[in-house]
Amino acid sequence: MNETPDLPGAVQLRAGDALLVVDLQRDFLPGGALAVPDGDRVVPLLQRYLARFERTGLPIVFTRDWHPPDHVSFSVRGGPWPPHCVAGTPGAAFAPGLRLPASAQLCSKASRPDAEAYSGFEGTELAARLRSQGVRRLFVGGLATDYCVKATVLDALREGFEVLLLADAVRAVNLHPGDGARAEQAMTQAGARPIRFEQLAGEGA
């Protein structure tokens, strides 16, 4: 990709930026216990974002569901979902083919049996950790648009971070038709700015 500093809406990475990849785990990919349609298609896109952030030395954080076997969200306990992303199981591992940079930080969530947490900020030290690194602007992508991405973005905005939603690197469950589109609208109305990889100014990946 050529340099794109003059692209309308171009975004220049700068100090204070961080990439936040939400729940890019095997159980959310096709064939997984709670598969997001086309969820695997975000992997190569997010790999491009990861390469750009790694080259610039900016913080990279991966959230992950890290459930106990008897988590309250599971259908066996009356929750809405089949068992998924049980801590330490293959389904909780990150997507096949995804290369985590050595500098990547992990944020495990929903790890207590009786507490659900769609957002990476809920029940974690994520906000404090980001602030301690001087982060002010978050680039957020991953799975799924209408659940954990939406909850994470809305909490990030409430925490005072500027948020850029990686619109080309999210996919929705769409349990009800249009859930993904409504989630994106809710995020933008709350203040998130949707962008695509081509809008990143400078050398491409």
Integer Rg of the chain from CA: 16
Domain 17-199, CATH homologous superfamily name and number: Isochorismatase-like (3.40.50.850)
Q: Which of 12, 118, 104, 11 is nearest to 50 (CA)?
A: 104
The rounded mean pLDDT for the chain is 94
Residue 203 has pLDDT above 60, yes or no: no
Q: Which of 86, 147, 107 is nearest to 18 (CA)?
A: 107
Collapsed DSSP state (helix, strand, coil) of residue 119: coil
Quote the pLDDT of residue 8: 57
C-alpha separations of 135 from 15, 130, 171 in Å = 8, 5, 25
Residue 7 has pLDDT above 60, yes or no: no
Q: Which residue has the tokens 């905005």?
A: 157
Tokens of 43: 């992997």
Question: Which of 8-12, 36-40, 118-122 has the lowest average pLDDT?
Answer: 8-12
Show which residues are catalytic.
23, 109, 148
Collapsed DSSP state (helix, strand, coil) of residue 191: coil
Question: One-letter amino acid identity for 45?
Answer: L
- Tens digit of pLDDT for each residue in 42-86? 999 999 999 999 999 999 999 999 999 999 999 999 999 999 999
Quote the pLDDT of residue 9: 81
Quote the pLDDT of residue 35: 97
Mean pLDDT of 160-184: 97
Under DSSP, the state recorded for 95 is: P
